[in-house]
């Protein structure tokens, strides 16, 4: 249904047009003079104005100009019995979308109004989809209430318009992946693929094959050829998360990709080219890793063309409330599902685990609260102390005569694995560590257990 205002000083024709348009489902208002039409238009809500050109008080061209001023989104169709080519040209120049010569067939009018209505409906759907995409994938999802985060978003917006390599630096859980996706969707490559690879989630032996691909028979178990992420991302963006975890042999080949956008599949000698924009992210201090000899200096400088430091949540407390409400909003819940006191307590915490920790706390609180608003008692007890440190008395009790750091670590890891249903990646996120580090700790615990069994 389209809301249409008919302005015509011929009452009989106006009634006929109104009845015909109402019969096909449109909502119609009718004014018998230009002045009355403008007065009705000022009340708002009309999508199409169908106006006569010659009227005794205010003519159709004046009505057209007033529509453009009062309601720029409204479409105007001019009707006239005194048609000239110049009239039509002038009307179109002023912004009319169509021009009808009287007398016209009702079927012709119905068809033209139908086309305008369909175009408007399509435009509305496209605009709605664009807003939803921006909110879901673009900078609309990045919470930036704080000055520090607003500066980060501004840097990201500027570099998004280029093809430069971006290096996102910051603690785990600060939103680097979200920012990388926003940069891609704001770039000229937005219609191309966004391909992500998480270096820490893959064993060293598989990283290179995933990144650059393989040929059939490249290694045991390689039964067919497979394109790598660098090849799949052609025309789009390659996002390398946790870049600091890349093994040394892969770092050498990544340097070549950065230098000339060429790579070689495992088991092949043929160089391939790919047109990709590279965004990398890490929670490690890469400069320190370069000094320690675990990360190539030449690769670091190739990656750090445009570094962006994403501040931890503790340095942008203004973002905590908005982030908490956003987390609730993604679950279809409003601000009424959390009390003012609970929200204030969230805002006072330092969140060493950043947004992931905040999301975990809210998820847990929603379970405990049931259908009621989240209250202070539903939040983790560690929030009671500002900054997130456990009370001294609790630490004193913990470090009694039988205290064992190894036992505490083992209990924490086992609890995280149980809570994550055995999913090691999820357990690592709960613990605020990388999956590779979790594997390392599990291997260490297993070795200690084996040594203990041998000595007993």
Query: What are the distances in angstroms from CA 217 to CA 74, 224, 226?
Result: 64, 7, 11
* Proportion of the chain in helix, strand, coil states, percent, rounded to 5: 55, 15, 30
CB 206 within 8 A of CB 263: no
Q: How far apart are CA 429 and CA 431, in angstroms?
A: 5
- Residues (pLDDT < 70) of the chain are 43-44, 83, 124-138, 384-403, 418, 421, 448-456
pLDDT digits (tens, 9 = 90+) for 321-338: 889 998 998 888 888 899
CA angle at 116 for the pair 115 and 120, rounded to the nearest 5°: 115
Residue 73: predicted pLDDT: 80
Quick check: pTM over 0.85?
no
What is the CA angle 240-409-389, rounded to 5?
Answer: 85
Residue 390's pLDDT is: 42
In the chain the domains, ranked by start, together with CATH numbers, are: 3-131 (3.40.50.2300), 139-311 (3.40.50.300), 315-389 (1.10.8.60), 400-455 (1.10.10.60)
Question: Is the distance from CB of 74 to CB of 49 less than 8 angstroms?
Answer: yes
Q: How far apart are the first and last CA of the chain?
A: 83
CA-CA distance, 66 to 40, in Å (whole number)?
A: 12
| Spatial CA neighbour of 209 closest among 194, 198, 219 | 219
CB 163 within 8 Å of CB 261: no
Whole-number Cα distances in Å, 397 to 193, 391, 400, 401: 53, 10, 6, 10
Q: What pLDDT is stored for residue 132 in this prediction? A: 54
Instruction: Answer yes or no: are the C-beta atoms of 28 and 72 closer than 8 Å.
Output: no
Residues 6+ apart with CB under 8 A from 346: 320, 321, 324, 358, 361, 362, 379, 383
pLDDT at site 450: 61
């Amino acid at each position: 249904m389209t809301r249409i205002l008919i302005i015509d000083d011929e009452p009989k024709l106006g009634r006929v047009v109104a009845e015909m348009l109402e019969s096909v489902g449109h909502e119609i208002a009718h004014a018998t003079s230009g002045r009355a039409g403008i007065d009705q238009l000022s009340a708002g809500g009309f999508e199409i104005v169908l106006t006569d050109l010659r009227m005794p008080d205010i003519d159709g061209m004046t009505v057209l100009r007033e529509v453009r001023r009062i309601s720029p989104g409204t479409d105007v169709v001019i009707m006239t019995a005194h048609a000239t080519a110049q009239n039509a040209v002038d009307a179109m120049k002023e912004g009319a979308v169509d021009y009808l010569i009287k007398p016209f067939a009702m079927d012709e009018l119905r068809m033209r109004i139908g086309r305008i209505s369909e175009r408007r409906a399509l435009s509305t759907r496209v605009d709605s989809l664009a807003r939803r995409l921006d909110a879901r994938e673009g900078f609309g999802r990045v919470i930036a209430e704080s000055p520090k985060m607003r500066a980060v978003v501004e840097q990201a917006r500027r570099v998004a318009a280029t093809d430069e390599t971006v290096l996102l630096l910051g603690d785990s859980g600060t939103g680097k992946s979200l920012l990388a996706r926003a940069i891609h969707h704001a770039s000229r490559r937005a219609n191309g693929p966004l391909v992500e690879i998480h270096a820490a989630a893959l064993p060293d032996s598989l990283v290179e094959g995933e990144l650059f691909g393989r040929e059939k028979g490249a290694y045991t178990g390689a039964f067919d050829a497979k394109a790598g992420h660098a090849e799949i991302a052609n025309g789009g963006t390659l996002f390398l998360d946790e870049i600091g975890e890349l093994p040394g042999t892969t770092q050498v080949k990544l340097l070549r990709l950065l230098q000339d956008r060429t790579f070689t599949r495992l088991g092949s000698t043929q160089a391939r080219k790919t047109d990709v924009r590279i965004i990398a992210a890490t929670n490690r201090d890469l400069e320190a890793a370069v000094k320690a000899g675990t990360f190539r200096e030449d690769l670091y400088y190739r990656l750090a063309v445009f570094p962006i430091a994403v501040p931890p949540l503790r340095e942008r407390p203004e973002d905590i409330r908005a982030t908490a409400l956003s987390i609730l909003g993604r679950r279809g819940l409003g601000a009424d599902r959390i009390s003012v006191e609970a929200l204030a307590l969230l805002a006072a915490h330092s969140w060493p685990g950043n947004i992931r920790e905040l999301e975990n706390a809210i998820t847990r609180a929603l379970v405990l609260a049931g259908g009621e608003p989240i209250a202070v008692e539903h939040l983790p007890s560690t929030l009671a102390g500002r900054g997130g440190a456990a009370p001294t008395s609790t630490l004193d009790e913990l470090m009694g005569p039988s205290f064992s750091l190894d036992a505490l670590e083992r209990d924490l890891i086992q609890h995280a694995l149980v809570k994550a249903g055995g999913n090691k990646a999820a357990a690592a996120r709960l613990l605020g560590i990388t999956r590779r580090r979790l594997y390392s700790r599990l291997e260490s615990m297993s070795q200690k257990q084996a040594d203990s069994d041998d000595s007993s």
